[in-house]
Amino acid sequence: MTFDAPDMDYAGLSPIIALTVGLCVVLLAGLVGRAQRRVVSVLSFLTLGAAGGLLIWQFGETKDLVSGALRLDDLAIVASLIAIVSAAFVIPLSWREEAADDHPGPAGHGEFQALVIASVLGMVLLAMAQNLITFFVGLELLSVPLYVLCGSALRRQQSLESGLKYLIIGSLGSATLLYGLAFIYGGSGSTDFAGIRDGIGGSLVDDPLILIGIALTVTGLAFKLSIAPFHQWTPDVYQGAPTPVTAFMAVATKAAAFAVFARFFEVALGPAVGDWQPALAALAAVSIIVGNVGALAQSSLKRLLGYSGVAQAGYMLVGIVAANEAGVQALFFYLAAYALMNLAAFAVITIRERETGFGDDIRSVQGLGRERPELAWPLTIAMLALAGLPGTAGFIGKLYLIEAAVDGDYTWLAVMIAVGTMISLAYYLRVIAAVWMRPAYHSDPTPEAGHRTLPAMAGGAPEATPDDFTPPPPAVGPRIGGLRCPVIIGLTILAAAATVFFGIIPGPLVEFVEGAGESITNALG
Amino acid sequence: MLSALLWLPLAVALIVVLLPRRFAGPVSAAGALGTLGLAVALALDFDAAAPGLQHVVDESWIPELGVRYQLGVDGISLFLVLMTAVLWAASFAWSAFRVPDRPKNYFLMLGIGEFATLGAFLAQDLLLFVLFFDLMLVPFFFLIGAYGTGNRVRATIKMMVYTLVGSLLMLVAAIATAVLASNETGELSFAMADLRANLLPDGSQEWIFCFFAAAFLVKMPAFPLHGWMPDAYLAAPPAVLALLSGVLSKVAAYGFLRVVLPIFPEATIQFQELILVIATVSILYGSAMAFTQTNVRLIAGYSSIAQLGFITLGVFSLSSDGANGAILQMVNHAVVVVPLFLIIVLLAERFGSEDLRQMGGGAMRAPVLAALFLIVTLATLAMPGSANFIGEFYILNGLFDAKIAFAVVASAGIAMAAFYALRLYQGAMHNPLPAGASSRELSLRDALVLVPLVGVILALAVTPGSVLTRGEASVQDKVGAVAEARDGFEVAKR
């Protein structure tokens, strides 16, 4: 009897293999020796670099892997690269983070970075998934490390709370999604995206099983993407989690989840486009309004970016609603631009969080323009880009999305993007105004302990005038503060510069995402 | 050549950032003079007889989205470009003599502002126009917010939100125009020439027109949409204020002529009366406010609303006389209002207050300043002999032919202009000196900025024909687009 080994396309699987091996190596290396931060980081960069290189090497190819459970095409590659780049960006950000540095055991950095890589692995899987099983496995592999990372600042109550909250809500989302996937399997008789496509008819109105399945799936994905009204966890978790983790969560998760979103709806549910389009359009509109209005009153920058992320997810969803090739391209262009501008913003917040005692409060960036122009400019550019002003990649991204929406006969949704952007100006500009137009806030971060709040007449010392008042040392610990790490500042400036570059010369980025739209068309053909 | 003119201000601004602080002012001013030199060369090189675009630059920019880097200049934009270069040079010079705190950022923003404004006047691709139109706002946000006075942060955010509300809708409208037009041709293009060749059907022209009109009317500002104006004008630093009122408002009026009339002619005819009403009300409201306000900045600010009303009337008279007068008036108002604001600031410095009631006797020891101010005042009230008179005459002439009722009401605006302009002049320069104030002559540095500007006013008064003849052919072309549509309308009615 002969036994045929299954045909394995090792080239196609190589990025996944590289990440898996690297993940184990990083974890183990973290356990060895004392001065491990540098070693571990180098290993992490090698892993991410190898995976990224293997993906770029296969750019433009299209192949089904492991009996069609995964598919390596430009859509998957673009989404994975966005995830990998953001992981490579947040690892240096985490170097001085208490989550990794103050860890009780010796394994801080190793564990932290291994978890990030594990999450990236989940994202790559998810971006490639074209089967309900890999879809779910990828999503869980993405989420579980993030739950842990959110709670990784063990000594901060907020961080633990954030991790727990994310765990509970995230599990709820996963369960909903799994339930929905089961319904879809039940209705179509297949777990393959192509099989589902064949299994469902043109209209779903008389097919309650599939309809329920789609509704639950959308809900589950909306939880992960923080699309309103399933976004309630976002501001809390974003604020509580260590800032590098928040940055990673905000950027990379969106890229991977939107990749599978696009593939699942446009490939598997393509024939029923008329049924899900209005529902997703409504979700997008709600998300744009809720996110932007919610952000208006925030004074914590991380919460502000959390709500802004809700709104931005709404904009991106428009790319899927448009249900055309241009829509998917617009979605990925926007994702790439969003990654750049958000990473720049979060990096500045991380740095200021350690330098001042204000945490992520907006006061921490007040007067930055005068004191630290090298940080003020990246933050300003990031905010202008998020607001979609010309000269930044954010403008081109919005242009792309609006064009796709109008082309897909969703002009009212294009108008919603414009309306949302108007609302958003109020809070993005507030941040810029704090940076450039207000003096630095040199006061005690906790008002009840501040001398300034006690005038002399009320029993305060008369010599405690604002002039000779020196800011208190940061309350968090001696290791934090005075962080002038050139690598982090350099990366921040790089991200901001790229945001401007792609706003003026968008050609390269457009070419980068072009294949993503085409891979949907290829999958259908 | 147009590319050099467009990018030079930005390049200079970026160089200034790299130089030591004390060079910021002189280098920026020199750069602005260089830009002005290029603009003058462009004007001399212009072929007055040719109706179409000249010096066209047409490069692919984002082919996937149908956006091209397309520049050109014709009789409509030529003098607006020249005016932009002149006024920015004045503004740079003024600022170089009074270097603000943190000068590098200031001059960087001023340079970006000039870049964006020139871009808006030169762009021949609809999306490029929208891009520059939006970009124009960003430097002004920083200039007012970081270098202004009083309640500057609130004022600047208010201005941004107000004006971008219009602009973002305009972005959607512009994209919709191109996408809907491409449904016919199969080729996505934002080039204004292509859009004009494939006019949209009636139903979509209307809402798109409304979005464009909203953007332009807010920017001008026109009557019910002017809420941002008083705050921003009170907070802005002098040189920025002059540009805000002198140049930025013109981009909006220009947008009507360049974009709306030729690309949405049918909607233009339909909404003609609505816009005329808004413009007339703006004239009356602006004039009435200008002679009740006591803050000198606001007097000039509200007078701008009235003047912009006149310009809008000219454009929407949909006759070539009216539009031609509107172009002349755009140039006139810009070169008049900039020295007006600068003089007002000088007076406020001398009296220590911006309140007209606390001013007086400014002419006592300052004959040169008084003479300059008088010339500017007389130009503002459109004294016969000034180019403003000819501009308003053309506008009213065009309007009398088209809509006589509006012309009659608008004529009242001219009389009101005489009242508020003279009130401003008398209140500040005549009357007894208030206690503690002194009349001081113009200093040399201010004279260096003001005298050339007033010279431009006088030059225009002598040769208004230079603007009118160059504008004529292009105006015929734009108004002709509407006339064609009107003929089509009447045929359809029968």
CB distance B175–A403 less than 8 Å?
yes
pLDDT at A199: 83
The arithmetic mean of pLDDT across residues B220-240, rounded, is 88
**Tens digit of each residue's pLDDT (9 = 90 or more) over A224-237:** 899 988 888 999 99
Contacts 24+ apart (CB under 8 A), B289-296: B290/B416, B290/B420, B291/B416, B291/B419, B291/B420, B291/B423, B294/B355, B294/B356, B294/B357, B295/B234, B295/B354, B295/B355, B295/B356, B296/B344, B296/B347, B296/B348, B296/B354, B296/B355, B296/B356, B296/B359, B296/B424, B296/B428
Q: Which two tokens stand for residue B312?
A: 């809008």
Q: Work out the pLDDT band at A104, boundaries 50, 70, 90.
A: low
Mean pLDDT over all residues of chain A? Answer: 84
Looking at per-residue pLDDT, the higher value among B51 and B98 belongs to B98
Residue B140 has pLDDT above 60, yes or no: yes
> What number of C-beta contacts closer than 8 Å exist between A and B?
93
N- to C-terminal Cα separation, chain B = 49
| Cα(A429)–Cα(A409) distance, integer angstroms | 32
- For residue B190, the chain A residue with the least C-alpha distance is A403
Is the separation of the CB atoms in B216 and B187 below 8 Å? Answer: no
Q: Which domain holds residue A291?
A: 10-443+481-524
Q: Work out the pLDDT band at B47, boundaries 50, 70, 90.
A: confident
Residue A453 has pLDDT above 70, yes or no: no
Q: Which two tokens stand for residue B211?
A: 């979005």
Answer yes or no: is A466 within a domain: no
pLDDT at A34: 60
Is the separation of the CB atoms in A152 and A159 below 8 Å? Answer: yes
**Tens digit of each residue's pLDDT (9 = 90 or more) over B245-287:** 888 889 999 999 889 888 888 888 889 889 999 999 999 999 9
**Tens digit of each residue's pLDDT (9 = 90 or more) over A238-255:** 999 989 999 999 999 999
- For residue A427, the chain B residue with the least C-alpha distance is B157
pLDDT at A76: 93
Residue A202 has pLDDT above 70, yes or no: no
Kindly report which listed range (A73-82, A482-491, B343-352) carries the lowest average pLDDT score: A482-491
Q: CA nearest B474: which of B175, B15, B31, B47?
A: B47
How many Cα atoms are found within 13 Å in the side-chain-facing hemisphere of B105?
A: 20
The arithmetic mean of pLDDT across residues B187-199, rounded, is 84
Q: DSSP for A170-187?
A: HHHHHHHHHHHHHHHHHH
Q: Work out the pLDDT band at A309, boundaries 50, 70, 90.
A: very high
CB distance A422–B165 less than 8 Å?
yes
Contacts of B105 in chain A (CB under 8 A): 369, 436
**Tens digit of each residue's pLDDT (9 = 90 or more) over B364-392:** 788 888 889 999 988 888 888 888 888 88
Instruction: Identify each DSSP E strand in A25-144 by its residue range.
Output: 63-65, 70-72
Q: Which helix (H) or strand (E) holds B143?
A: helix B137-147
- For residue A415, the chain B residue with the least C-alpha distance is B172
- For residue B65, the chain A residue with the least C-alpha distance is A400
The arithmetic mean of pLDDT across residues A499-516, rounded, is 90
Residue A42 has pLDDT above 70, yes or no: yes
Mean pLDDT over all residues of chain B? Answer: 86
CB distance B153–A403 less than 8 Å?
no
Residue with tokens 């007055």: B48
| Cα(A385)–Cα(A388) distance, integer angstroms | 5
The alpha carbon of residue B132 is apart from the nearest alpha carbon of chain A, in Å, by 8
Kindly report which listed range (A21-35, A313-327, B447-461) carries the lowest average pLDDT score: A21-35
Question: Which pairing describes strands A63-65 and B67-73: parallel, antiparallel, or unpaired?
Answer: unpaired
| Cα(B375)–Cα(A314) distance, integer angstroms | 56
**Tens digit of each residue's pLDDT (9 = 90 or more) over A384-402:** 999 999 989 999 999 999 9
CB distance A438–B132 less than 8 Å?
no
pLDDT at A102: 52
Q: Work out the pLDDT band at B34, boundaries 50, 70, 90.
A: very high
Looking at per-residue pLDDT, the higher value among B464 and A393 belongs to A393
pLDDT at B346: 86
Residue B227, helix vs strand vs coil: coil
- For residue A367, the chain B residue with the least C-alpha distance is B146
**Tens digit of each residue's pLDDT (9 = 90 or more) over B197-223:** 888 877 788 889 999 999 999 988 888
CB distance A406–B157 less than 8 Å?
no
The arithmetic mean of pLDDT across residues A112-141, rounded, is 93
Counting DSSP H helices and E strands in chain A, the numbers are: 21, 2
Is the separation of the CB atoms in A97 and A246 below 8 Å? Answer: no
Reduced DSSP (H G I as helix, E B as strand, rest coil) percent helix, strand, coil of chain A, to 5: 75, 0, 25
CB distance A390–B134 less than 8 Å?
yes
Q: Which two tokens stand for residue B218?
A: 């807010």
**Tens digit of each residue's pLDDT (9 = 90 or more) over A267-282:** 888 888 888 899 999 9
The arithmetic mean of pLDDT across residues A490-502, rounded, is 93
Q: Which residues of B252-284 are buried (b: 16+ CB within 10 A; e: fewer)?
A: bbbbbbbbbbbbbbbbbbbbbeebbebbbebbb
Residue B444 has pLDDT above 70, yes or no: yes
Candidate from A395, A398, A436 with C-beta closest to B145: A436
pLDDT at B429: 83
ipTM confidence score: 0.90
Q: How far is CA A270 from CA A253, A468, A521, in A?
A: 24, 68, 11
Q: Which helix (H) or strand (E) holds B60?
A: strand B54-62
The percentage of residues in chain B with a pLDDT greater than 70, rounded to a whole number, is: 99
| Cα(B191)–Cα(A389) distance, integer angstroms | 21
Residue B458 has pLDDT above 70, yes or no: yes
Interface of A with B (CB under 8 A): 329, 369-370, 384, 388-391, 395-396, 398-400, 402-403, 406-407, 411, 414-415, 417-419, 421-422, 425-426, 429-430, 432-433, 436-438, 506-507, 510, 514
pLDDT at B494: 58
DSSP category for residue B409? H
pLDDT at A480: 40
Residue with tokens 């047409």: B58
A144 Cβ contact partners less than 8 Å away, ≥ 6 residues apart: A118, A122
The alpha carbon of residue B366 is apart from the nearest alpha carbon of chain A, in Å, by 37
The alpha carbon of residue B426 is apart from the nearest alpha carbon of chain A, in Å, by 37
CB distance B160–A391 less than 8 Å?
no
Radius of gyration of chain B (CA): 22
Residue A459 has pLDDT above 80, yes or no: no
- How many beta carbons lie within 10 A of that of residue B463, not counting itself? 11
Answer yes or no: is A149 within a domain: yes
| Cα(B122)–Cα(B143) distance, integer angstroms | 24
Diameter of chain B measured on Cα atoms? 74
| Cα(A74)–Cα(A61) distance, integer angstroms | 7
**pTM of this structure:** 0.91
pLDDT at A247: 93
At B107, the amino acid letter reads F
The arithmetic mean of pLDDT across residues A133-139, rounded, is 94
The alpha carbon of residue B462 is apart from the nearest alpha carbon of chain A, in Å, by 41
| Cα(B146)–Cα(B453) distance, integer angstroms | 27
Q: DSSP for B324-335?
A: HHHHHHHHHHHH
Count of domains forming chain A: 1
A513 Cβ contact partners less than 8 Å away, ≥ 6 residues apart: A78, A329, A332, A333, A336
Q: Work out the pLDDT band at A484, boundaries 50, 70, 90.
A: low
**Tens digit of each residue's pLDDT (9 = 90 or more) over B101-115:** 888 889 999 999 999
pLDDT at A38: 80
H-assigned helices in A151-272: 157-188, 193-199, 208-225, 233-240, 243-248, 254-263
Candidate from B157, B179, B180 with C-beta closest to A426: B157
Q: Work out the pLDDT band at B58, boundaries 50, 70, 90.
A: confident
Phi-psi region of B353 (alpha: psi -120 to 50; beta: other; left: phi over 0): beta
The alpha carbon of residue A512 is apart from the nearest alpha carbon of chain B, in Å, by 12
DSSP category for residue A67? G
Q: Which helix (H) or strand (E) holds B72?
A: strand B67-73
pLDDT at B97: 87
CB distance B157–A422 less than 8 Å?
no
CB distance B175–A436 less than 8 Å?
no
Q: Work out the pLDDT band at A164, boundaries 50, 70, 90.
A: very high
Looking at per-residue pLDDT, the higher value among B319 and A123 belongs to A123
pLDDT at A481: 42
Kindly report which listed range (A169-173, A259-263, B112-116, B423-427) carries the lowest average pLDDT score: B423-427
Q: Which two tokens stand for residue A111?
A: 């564990």
CB distance B160–A425 less than 8 Å?
yes
Residues in chain B: 494
Residue B69 has pLDDT above 60, yes or no: yes
Q: Work out the pLDDT band at B403, boundaries 50, 70, 90.
A: confident
pLDDT at A275: 83
Looking at per-residue pLDDT, the higher value among A204 and B391 belongs to B391
Candidate from B134, B146, B175 with C-beta closest to A402: B175
CB distance A437–B64 less than 8 Å?
no
The arithmetic mean of pLDDT across residues B463-468, rounded, is 79
CB distance A418–B168 less than 8 Å?
yes
A69 Cβ contact partners less than 8 Å away, ≥ 6 residues apart: A129, A130, A131, A133, A134
| Cα(B46)–Cα(B305) distance, integer angstroms | 32
Answer yes or no: is A468 within a domain: no
Candidate from A403, A415, A425 with C-beta closest to B161: A425
Looking at per-residue pLDDT, the higher value among A396 and A9 belongs to A396
Contacts of A514 in chain B (CB under 8 A): 64
- For residue B155, the chain A residue with the least C-alpha distance is A433
Q: DSSP for A301-352?
A: HHHHHHHHHHHHHHHHHHHHHTTSHHHHHHHHHHHHHHHHHHHHHHHHHHHH
Return the residue in A315, A377, A399 with the most chain B beta carbons within 10 A, the one to mutate for interface testing: A399
Is the separation of the CB atoms in A306 and A214 below 8 Å? Answer: no
- Phi, psi for residue B417 in degrees, rounded to 5: -60, -40
Contacts 24+ apart (CB under 8 A), A359-362: A359/A300, A359/A445, A360/A239, A360/A243, A360/A300, A360/A301, A360/A302, A361/A299, A361/A300, A361/A301, A361/A445, A362/A299, A362/A300, A362/A301, A362/A304, A362/A430, A362/A431, A362/A434
Residue B67, helix vs strand vs coil: strand
pLDDT at A100: 52
Residue B490 has pLDDT above 60, yes or no: yes
Answer yes or no: is A465 within a domain: no
| Cα(A119)–Cα(A47) distance, integer angstroms | 13
Residue A467 has pLDDT above 50, yes or no: no
Diameter of chain A measured on Cα atoms? 98
Question: Which pairing describes strands A70-72 and A63-65: parallel, antiparallel, or unpaired?
Answer: antiparallel
Triad A128, A90, A393: Cα angle to 5°: 75
Contacts of A369 in chain B (CB under 8 A): 102, 105, 146
Residue A332 has pLDDT above 80, yes or no: yes
CB distance B152–A437 less than 8 Å?
yes
Residue B303 has pLDDT above 70, yes or no: yes
